Amino acid sequence: MSENKTKPSETPAAELIAAVEHPMRRADGQTLLEMFQRATGYAPVVWAPAIIGFGRYHYRYKSGREGDFLATGFAVRKRNLVVYIMPGYADYGAILDRLGKYKKSKSCLYINKLADIDLTVLEELILAGLRDLNKIWPVQPA
């Protein structure tokens, strides 16, 4: 059985954001850090290698695999910002329709820059994801 390689680290989230080279990405990362903290009420935890997570949950699949993972969070990448909504985006079409410019995969939302989206709608999406995740696996502080 494979183990989840994404685990909490000791790196401070502010240090990770400060190390972002591109000034606009660094500023967007700081904005997301503040927004996620305010919206979730959870302290940021850097999950290796470079995801800033808020809250955590313990999962146990029918296969027997289990572990802990971040409940929601984001990463500042060279090409874009990545927002993680753990229940996935399948049921959030009405919210996403109001968000702005983005791309998505199952649990990842890719945003070029925060100026492309409505931050109030992003916060609504984050809270909806946490609420839905909590129905499956209880979310706890990290």
Q: Residue 1's pLDDT is what?
A: 45
Per-residue b/e over 89-101, b at no fewer than 16 CB within 10 Å?
beebeebeeebee
Q: Residue 26's pLDDT is what?
A: 97
Q: Residue 2's pLDDT is what?
A: 53
pLDDT in tens, the chain (142 residues): 456 677 889 999 999 999 999 999 999 999 999 999 999 999 999 998 899 999 999 888 888 887 888 999 999 999 999 999 977 666 899 999 999 999 998 889 999 999 999 999 999 999 999 999 989 888 988 7
Please name each of the domains of the chain with its CATH number: 13-135 (3.90.1150.200)
pTM of full prediction above 0.85: yes
Helix pair 119-136, 23-40: axis angle to 10 deg: 50
